[in-house]
């Protein structure tokens, strides 16, 4: 095997998922950085912090494109390919041992569930939990090949939430205040975090900036932060709609109506949030892991897993549109009596091994490399 571990940075969000894994790899085996490279097909990447950017730049410089294999039928893997998405053939990354890691925190929350395709393409699948393995097996049936190795690792990108989740209520309040200070937000303001999936099922494509407009009428006591999946701006079939949305959101930002988090899902803003408004996006699951008040625009037809839908439904209050959302903020809501149970189920299905997932995936990568050497 070529002495290389390749991370396929499909998007900023992909890299954000790899960063804690790479940090753990270097921690477990300091010399491992010299084996690693990043294949970066995008023109632009956003980073959570300067440390993330520095490691990205070093590993991008390390990357050397694998030589083309003469023996197309050879079963020998020439490198490890760590990826959140299936690379296009034009990238020439077809001779690696494919290790899949999640870029989102959920499964079963969209009709055409991409995780099934990723599972079928992978050699080792680092899954969110044993519940995901059951979900995949039930959907694929006999197509669920024994050659695919499912390992329940948890979701590495969620390790960043562990300090908050496992802290006392008092410490959680302190963490929220620290994050607000870091974001330059008055501690007296309530943060409303708006999350949107990148598809037509997402709040931005359904409602545009109307949710920002109505919530802005609540006055200065509320700080709105709009988050968005990077696929809204890249790799999308409706480029013109993406342009309109981007321009409209920038207009709201320039007016001071809302802060924007458009590159990667901003975990710190989510931690500081007092209320989360969303849809089928897996950010709703992250909000559940953080035990936030959640309002969602969802319907059962958007889900390919009934259990996932039930969790989304029971952990939130649903709204139909901008006017309905505003009325719920003005008059208050009563959360379902099943909410606490839904939070527990969310942690079981989607929060497995939280705080240790990155370490587990790093160990799997190192073990796979040793076996392939």
Which of 129 and 244 is assigned the larger pLDDT? 129
**Structure letter (DSSP) for residue 357:** H
What are the residues facing 276 on neighbouring strands?
193, 294
Question: The tokens of 66 are what?
Answer: 């694998």
Element (H, E) at 7: strand 5-8
Q: What is the DSSP pairing of strand 79-83 with strand 36-39?
A: unpaired
Q: Are 176 and 131 in the same domain? A: no
Stretch among 34-38, 54-58, 141-145, 172-176 having the lowest mean pLDDT: 141-145
Q: How many domains does the chain have?
A: 2
Q: Are 173 and 114 in the same domain? A: no
Count CA atoms within 13 Å of residue 49 on its CB side: 7
Q: What is the DSSP pairing of strand 149-152 with strand 124-127?
A: parallel
Q: Are 197 and 282 in the same domain? A: yes
Which of 101 and 13 is assigned the larger pLDDT? 101
pTM: 0.91
Q: How many CB atoms within 10 Å of residue 301?
A: 9
Q: Are 346 and 358 in the same domain? A: no
Count CA atoms within 13 Å of residue 193 on its CB side: 26
Q: Are 118 and 204 in the same domain? A: no
Q: Are 151 and 268 in the same domain? A: no
Parent domain of 132: 5-155+354-372
Rounded distance, CA 123 to CA 371, Å? 13
Q: Are 336 and 366 in the same domain? A: no
Question: The tokens of 226 are what?
Answer: 């709009």
Q: Are 170 and 241 in the same domain? A: yes
**pLDDT for res 148:** 75
Q: How many CB atoms within 10 Å of residue 136?
A: 23
Q: Are 13 and 119 in the same domain? A: yes
Q: Are 79 and 173 in the same domain? A: no
Q: Are 167 and 149 in the same domain? A: no
pLDDT over threshold 90, residue 373: no
Order the strands of the 317-318 sheet from edge to edge.
Answer: 258-261, 222-227, 190-194, 275-278, 294-296, 317-318
Stretch among 29-33, 252-256, 266-270 having the lowest mean pLDDT: 266-270
Mean pLDDT of the chain: 89
Q: Are 193 and 267 in the same domain? A: yes
């Amino acid at each position: 095997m070529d002495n290389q571990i390749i991370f396929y940075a499909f998007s900023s969000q992909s890299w954000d998922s790899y960063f804690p894994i790479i940090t753990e790899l270097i921690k477990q085996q300091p010399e491992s950085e010299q084996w690693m490279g990043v294949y970066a097909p995008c023109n632009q990447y956003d980073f959570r912090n300067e440390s993330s950017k520095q490691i990205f730049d070093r590993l991008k410089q390390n990357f050397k494109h694998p030589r083309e294999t003469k023996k197309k039928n050879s079963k020998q893997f020439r490198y490890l390919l760590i990826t959140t998405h299936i690379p296009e053939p034009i990238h020439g990354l077809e001779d690696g041992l494919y290790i899949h890691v999640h870029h989102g925190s959920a499964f079963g929350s969209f009709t055409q569930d991409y995780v099934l395709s990723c599972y079928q393409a992978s050699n080792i699948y680092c899954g969110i939990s044993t519940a995901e393995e059951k979900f995949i097996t039930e959907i694929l049936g006999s197509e669920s090949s024994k050659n695919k190795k499912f390992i329940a690792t948890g979701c590495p990108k969620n390790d960043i939430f562990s300090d908050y989740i496992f802290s006392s209520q008092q410490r959680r309040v302190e963490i929220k205040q620290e994050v607000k200070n870091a974001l330059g937000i008055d501690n007296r303001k309530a943060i409303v975090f708006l999350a949107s999936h990148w598809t037509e099922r997402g709040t931005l494509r359904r409602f545009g900036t109307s949710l920002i407009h109505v919530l802005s009428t609540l006055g200065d006591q509320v700080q709105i932060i709009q988050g968005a999946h990077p696929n809204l701006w890249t790799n999308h079939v409706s480029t013109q709609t993406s342009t309109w949305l981007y321009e409209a959101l920038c207009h709201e930002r320039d007016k001071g109506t809302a802060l924007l988090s458009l590159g990667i899902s901003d975990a710190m803003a989510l931690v500081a949030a007092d209320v989360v408004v969303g849809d089928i996006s897996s950010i709703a699951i992250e909000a559940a892991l953080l035990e936030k008040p959640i309002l969602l625009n969802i319907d059962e037809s958007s889900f390919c897993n009934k259990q996932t839908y039930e969790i989304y439904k029971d952990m939130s209050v649903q709204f139909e549109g901008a006017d309905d959302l505003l009325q719920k903020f003005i008059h208050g809501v009563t959360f379902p009596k099943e909410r606490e149970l839904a939070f527990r189920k969310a942690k079981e299905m989607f929060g497995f091994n939280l705080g240790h997932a990155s370490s587990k995936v790093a160990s799997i990568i190192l073990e796979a490399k040793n076996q392939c050497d």
